[in-house]
Structure 1
Amino acid sequence: MVKRFYTIGMAGHIDHGKTTLTKALTNIDTDRLKEEKERAISIELGYAPLSLDDDSQVSIIDVPGHEKFIRQMIAGVAGIDLVLLVVAADEGVMPQTLEHLEILQLLGIHKGLIVVTKIDQMDEEMGELIEMDIHDKVKGTFFEGSELLFVDSLSHMGIPQLKDRIRKYLKDVPMRDASGAFRLPIDQVFTVHGQGTVVRGTVYEGMIQEGEILEVLPQGKKVRARQLQVHHEQQEMGRAGQRVAINLGGISKEEINRGDVLVSTQYYATTDIVDVVLDTVDSLDYPLKQRGSIKLHLGTAEVYGKIVFFDRNELMEDKGVLCQLRLNSPVVTKRGDRFILRRPTPVETIGGGEVIDPKGEKYKFGPATMEMLSRKREGTPGERMIDVLKKEKGLRKQELLKETALEEREGSAILTELMEANNVHVLKDWYLLKVVHDEMIGVLLGELKSYHDQHPLRQGKNKAELKQDLSTYGTSLAEAVIEQGVTDGVFVQGGQFISLPEFQPGYPSQWEKRMVQVEETIFAQKLQVDSYWEIVSEAGIPTTLQEELRHFLLRSGRVVELDEKLLMGKRVFDQAVRELYEKTEERFTLQDAKSVLGVTRKYLVPFMEILDSKGLTKRDGNERVWRKEPQ
C-alpha cells in the first residue's frame, strides 16, 4: 500500500482553542516557546503528527492567531492540504477568523472543515445562533455549505468524530507530486548541539534522500542532507507533503534564513521580477498606487518591493489583475505558486494570486504588454513552451523546463508532441523551434555562399568565424546547429573550416590565367625556382591575393614549401627524391646529393631538411641515412 502524506493547518482567531485542539488530536503541546506559555498565545508555527490509519502520515500545523503574527500564519498555510477553521463557541466569528479565511481563499486552498470549540460553554440555542453566524460569514468562500463539527478539546467530546471526518476528507485530496524536482521552503532554522545546522519545512514537491547534495536558494550554496527526521523519527527519505527536519552539512545557521528554499536541481527560478495575476480582498481601505510599496508572502519568504501595473495607475477592489512585482531581494518560485500581498503601511492585506511567469522582464505600459501577459496566463503548456523558445531562441532541456515551470514528466511529454508535430527541433541537448532552426541554417548557407564568392581560393570559412555570424542566437547553440548541419550533409567540414558541399576551392575567373601562369612557371623552373614573391609579382597577381594563392597551392598539394620564399612543384620534388634514392648509397653526404641533383646549397639544404622532416632520411654527423624508400 502506498503511503500518503498530508499537512493540515489550524487557522482562526487568537484564543479560540487551536493549540488545545491540536493537543487533543495528537497528544502533543505545540506551544514550545517560553513566551508562548507565559502569554498563552502561539508566536511560532507548531507542528504535531496526527495518527489516522496505516496508509497516511499527517502533520498538523498550529498557526498563530494574533494579528501581529500574521506572517507566520501565511507561512504555515502555504503548504497545507486541508485546513481546519477553528471558531470558539463563546465568541463566534472574530476579525482574525475572517482575515485567516480571506488569506486561505487567496492562497487557493479548497479543502476545509469548520470546527467549533469550547462547546462546554454553549447551550442548544447558542449553538444554533453560532451555526447561523458562521454559515453567514463563510458565504462565497470554499467553506460555504460546509458542515460544522462541535468539539470540546479538554473532555475530548467530538474528537473521534472529527478524526473520522478528517480521514474521509483526506481520501479525496490528491497527494502532492513526489515525482518532480525537490523543493522545501524553510520555515525554521536552528542548531542542535553536536549536529550543527537543522532546517525544517514542508516538502512542497519531489523527494529527498539522506546523503543527497542540495542547494540553498537564493544564495546558491551547496549543502548535504546528512540526516532526515520526520516528527523526531529518523528517516532515509522524505517526500512531498511531509514535514521534514534536515541536518545540513556545509552551512552554518547564520548563512541560512527562514524563507530560503532547499532544492535538488536548477529547475527553480531565483528572481526579483515576477509576473502575476492578482485578486484583491473585497474591501481595500486605500487604493494601491502605481509602483506602490508591497510586502510579498511567498511560501515561507517575506520580501518587500513595488507593484507595477500596465493598464492602470491605481488599484481598488478587482479580480484577475495582470501585473508585476519588482522585489528588493530575490525569491525562489515557479509558475502556479500562490502568494499573498500585504501593504507595509498602513498594514492591511491587499490580496493574493498566482505566479504566471517567475522570470519577468521590464515591459512598457499599454495594451501590447497586457495582451502578452494574458497569453502567458491562459496559454497551454505547449504554447508557453513555444513562446519561451521564441524569446530565448534555443534552450537546454532543464533550462526550458525551468523557464516554463513544467515538471520533468509533463515537459518531456509536451516536447515529444511538439517534435512529432515538427514544431520543435532537438540538436544534441538543445531545443529550438523549427522556424528558428531553418532561419539559422538559412543564415549559414548565405554566409558560406558569400564567403566562397569572395574567397574562392580558401578551403572554407573558419568555424569560429561562422559561429560569430550567429552570435545573436548564442555561440553554443550556433555550434550545435553547425555540427548537426555537417552530420546531415548540409555543410562540409575540413579541419577547422566549413564549406558548402558543392564548393571546390579554385582560381577566381578574373585571375585564373595569371594564376595558372604562376603554377606553370614554378613547375618549369624545376629544382632551382625563383622566389615565389617575384614570380607572382611578375605575373601581375594583386598583393591581396598573393598570400592566398600561396596557401592554396600548398593546401592543394601542387607545391612543396622549401622555405617562406621558395616553392617547388610537387611532381618535381617527388621525382628528385626518387632520383636521389636510386643514385645514392644507404649513407650519403650533402656533396653526394649535390652531385645527383645539381643544385646549390640554397636549394639543397632546405630540400634535405624536408626529407628529414618526412622521416625519409636521418642526419648522422655529416652524413644522412635513408630510413625508408620514398613512395
Structure 2
Amino acid sequence: MGKQYYTIGMAGHIDHGKTTLTKALTSVDTDRLKEEKERNISIEPGFAPFYHEEDMEISVVDVPGHERFIRQMIAGVAGIDLVVLVVAADEGVMPQTKEHLDILSLLGITHGIVVLTKISKVDEELRDMALEEVMDELKGTVFERAPVLLADSLSGEGVEELKQKIITTLKGLVSRSVRGDFRLPIDQVFTVKGQGTVVRGTVFEGTLDTGEEMIIFPQGILTKAKQIQAHRRKESHAFAGQRAAINLSGVDYKELKRGNVLVTSPHFTVTNTIDVCLEILHAVKHPIKQRMPVMVYSGTSEVMGKLVFFDRNKVESETEPILCQIRLDESIVAKRGDRFILRRPSPMETIGGGWIIQPNGGRYKFGQETITFLQSERHGSPQERVLRLLEQYKCVDEDFILREASLTHRELHDMLQGDDQWIVLSQSKVSHLKIVKECVELIEQILRGFHEEFPLLKGVNSGELKQSLKEYTGDLVDYAIEQKHWKRNSGFLCLDGFIPHLPPQWEKRCSQLIVLLEADGTQVKDIDEYFQQVGIPQKWQSDFYHFFIQEKKIVPLDDKKAYSYQVFMKAVGDLNENTGETFDIAEAKEILGLSRKYMIPFLEKLDKDGLTLRIQGLRKWIRTSAKG
C-alpha cells in the first residue's frame, strides 16, 4: 500500500478556540488575513500541515465559525476525511455548533472527534456540565459515538493526546481513491510574482503529475500544471486527500474563482440541472415551497438555484428523503454521489442537503411517474443505469456513458470487463446483447415484410436498411447482421434461402413477354408495348422490368428499348468474332445488320458495360469476349 493522504477539518462556533487549537497542533497560525488579525476572527478557511511521515500525510483546514461565513465553512470542509468539532467549555454548545453539526452530517462526513477546549477557564463542575451538554447534543447524530477529549491550547493540556487520537483514527480509515480522474475543487486563487496564477484546494480524487494537461471547469479553460506544492514543499505529484497548490500555465488569475474545478478529464459533467436526494433538517424555521430560491453549495461552489418538487408543492414535517430537482442559475461541475448543502437566502438558514442522483437532470412532469423514475435512478447500479441509457439510445460511445450515467472510468472498465453481455464496437461504441437481439429481430421483421411485398427484388438495400434503423447506428446494425446467416449480395440483404421470384399470378404473362422479346431479335419495339401486349398493368411494369434485368432476362439499351439477354449476348459474340482489336460503326452495321436507330444505343451499351472503349471514331475491345 502506498502513502496515504488525509485532510481534517476544525469546525465549531466562533471564538471557541479552533484557530488556537490548530496552532497548538501544527505551530501554524491559520489566520493570515489582515482583517482576521485585526478582528481576531477567522473569515476564510486556513490551512496547515499537521503530520508528515513516510506512510501518511495529514493536512488541517480551520474553517470560520461565524454564521456570516457559513459559505466559507462549507467550502473548507467539502473535502475533509475527519472533523474535529471544537466546543468551548466556558460556553458549551452554541448555534453554530449545531449548524456545523448539521452541515457535516449532510455532507456525509461520519468520522469525527469532539474536543472540549478552554478547560483551564472553568472549574471541574462547569466542565462536567459542558461535557454532558455536548453528549446530549450528539445523540441521534452520526457523531453519537465519536470520542470526546479535553484540551487546553494555551497550557498544552490534552493537545498531544488529541494529536495521537487523530493519527490513530485516520490510520483506521480508507483513504480517497487515486484511481479515478483527477478532480480538485478550487478554494483559493492568487498570483505569485514571477510564477503567475496559483490555485489551492483539497484533491477530491485521482492523481496529478507535474506538466500534465488540465481543464478548468465550468469555463473549459485548458492549462498545464507548471508546478505542484504541498504545504510549500515542491512535489512531482498531487494525490487524492492531499492539500495542494497548483501553479497554472497560461491562465490569468482574474479568470478564476472559488468554486471552479480543476480536472484532467473532459468527462466531468458541467450542469445547471441536478436530480437530487434531499434531506430536510428538522430545525428549519420557515416553510419550504415549490420553486423557492435556494443557495446551493457543492464542492467549493456557491450558486443560486430553484428547488423543484415533483410530488408536492411544499414541505411539511418531512422525515424521509425527498427526490426532487434543483435548477441552477450558473453551471457547476458535478457527478453522481456528490454531496450538497441548501440554504435559504432570506431569511438565512440551512434548510437541508443530500447527494446528487443525476448531474444531468432532464425536464420532467409533475407526478408519480417522475418519482418512480428518480427512485430507479437513486437505487440503480452502474449496469442498470447504462442499460436505461441503451434502451433509449441503443448504442453510445464511452464518453456519453461516463457523462450521462455518471460513471467513472474505473466503473465503466470493470463493468465492460466483468460481463460478456456487453458489446464494445469500433470507436469505443458500447451496446448490450439484449439490444443486439432487439436489432436482429427488427431486421428479420423488415426483411420478411420486404420479401412479401417485393418478391421480385433480391433484397433490401443495406444503406436504406441502416437509414430505417438509424437509432441503432450503422456499427450496431453491421454487428447484428453478422450474428445471423443472412445473405449479402452487392449491397443488398435478404433472408437466408430467399430467391427473388415473380408473383405466381403473373408468371405466365411475364414468360410470354420474354418469348415475344426473343422472337423480335434485334428489331425490338419499345418495352412498354410488350407489357401492354401481354396485359401487365402499368403499376407492375417498373418492378417487373427491374426484375428481368436483375435475373438477366433482358438487357436495357436505353430508357425505352431492351433486348432479351440471349439476343444481346449473341449480338456481342457475333461482333466480337468478326472484328479486330478495333472497329467502327460501319463495320458493326454490316456484321449485325442494324439500323442507326438500334446501332447507336447498342454500341453505347457496350461502352457503358466496359466491353469497349470509344476512341475518336473507333471502338476498341477492352474485354475480348462478353461471355464473362
Normalised by the size of structure 1, how large is the TM-score? Answer: 0.89
Q: What 5-or-longer segments of structure 1 have no aligned partner? A: none
In 1: Cα distance, 2:355 partner to 2:445 partner: 46
Deviations 1:126-150 (A, max 9, x none): 4334333322332222333433334
> Could you tell which deviates more after superposition, 201-210 or 513-522?
513-522
Residue aligning to 2:586: 591
Residue aligning to 2:446: 447
Residue aligning to 2:263: 263
Contact map agreement 2:437 2:480 (CA 8 A) in 1: no
Deviations 1:429-458 (A, max 9, x none): 555565554444333322222222222233
In 1: Cα distance, 2:439 partner to 2:425 partner: 13
Q: Which amino acid aligns with 1:208?
A: L
Residue aligning to 1:605: 600
- Given the alignment of the two structures, is residue 359 of structure 1 paired with residue 354 of structure 2, yes or no? no
Residue aligning to 1:461: 460
Residue aligning to 2:115: 115
Residue aligning to 1:518: 513
Contact map agreement 1:177 1:240 (CA 8 A) in 2: yes
Residue aligning to 1:399: 400
In 1: Cα distance, 2:394 partner to 2:328 partner: 29
Residue aligning to 1:85: 85
Q: Which amino acid aligns with 1:573?
A: F
Deviations 1:155-201 (A, max 9, x none): 54443333222110110111111112332222233344455443332
Deviation, structure 1 residue 364: 4.2
- Given the alignment of the two structures, is residue 185 of structure 1 paired with residue 180 of structure 2, yes or no? no
- Given the alignment of the two structures, is residue 573 of structure 1 paired with residue 568 of structure 2, yes or no? yes
Q: Which amino acid aligns with 1:19?
A: T
> What is the SS of the residue equivalent to 1:51?
strand
Contact map agreement 1:561 1:567 (CA 8 A) in 2: yes
Contact map agreement 1:334 1:405 (CA 8 A) in 2: yes
> What is the SS of the residue equivalent to 2:319?
coil
Q: What 5-or-longer segments of structure 2 have no aligned partner? A: none
In 2: Cα distance, 1:272 partner to 1:375 partner: 22
Contact map agreement 2:309 2:325 (CA 8 A) in 1: no
Contact map agreement 2:185 2:204 (CA 8 A) in 1: yes
Contact map agreement 2:295 2:342 (CA 8 A) in 1: yes
Deviations 1:320-339 (A, max 9, x none): 32231231333332222221
Mapping 1:532-571, distance limit 5 Å = 532-571=527-566
> What is the SS of the residue equivalent to 1:360?
coil
> Could you tell which deviates more after superposition, 131-140 or 188-197?
188-197
Deviation, structure 1 residue 153: 3.5
Deviation, structure 1 residue 60: 1.3
> Could you tell which deviates more after superposition, 203-212 or 193-202?
193-202
Q: 1:262 to 1:520 in 2, by over 3 A?
A: farther
Deviations 1:289-341 (A, max 9, x none): 23322222111122222323344432244333223123133333222222111
Residue aligning to 2:141: 141
Q: Which amino acid aligns with 1:298?
A: S
In 1: Cα distance, 2:511 partner to 2:496 partner: 25
Deviation, structure 1 residue 366: 4.3
> What is the SS of the residue equivalent to 1:57?
strand
Deviation, structure 1 residue 118: 3.7
Q: 1:453 to 1:223 in 2, by over 3 A?
A: farther
Mapping 1:153-232, distance limit 5 Å = 153-154=153-154, 156-232=156-232
> Could you tell which deviates more after superposition, 46-55 or 609-618?
609-618
Q: 1:460 to 1:251 in 2, by over 3 A?
A: farther
Mapping 1:416-431, distance limit 5 Å = 419=419, 429-431=428-430
Normalised by the size of structure 2, how large is the TM-score? Answer: 0.89
Residue aligning to 2:339: 338
In 1: Cα distance, 2:309 partner to 2:621 partner: 85
> Could you tell which deviates more after superposition, 163-172 or 544-553?
544-553
Q: Which amino acid aligns with 1:352?
A: G
> Could you tell which deviates more after superposition, 379-388 or 581-590?
379-388
- Count residues with an aligned counterpart: 624
Deviation, structure 1 residue 43: 1.9
> Could you tell which deviates more after superposition, 310-319 or 32-41?
310-319
Structure 1 runs (4+) greater than 6 angstroms displaced: none
Deviation, structure 1 residue 398: 4.3
Deviation, structure 1 residue 480: 3.5
In 2: Cα distance, 1:142 partner to 1:464 partner: 61
Q: Which amino acid aligns with 1:582?
A: E
Q: Which amino acid aligns with 1:11?
A: A
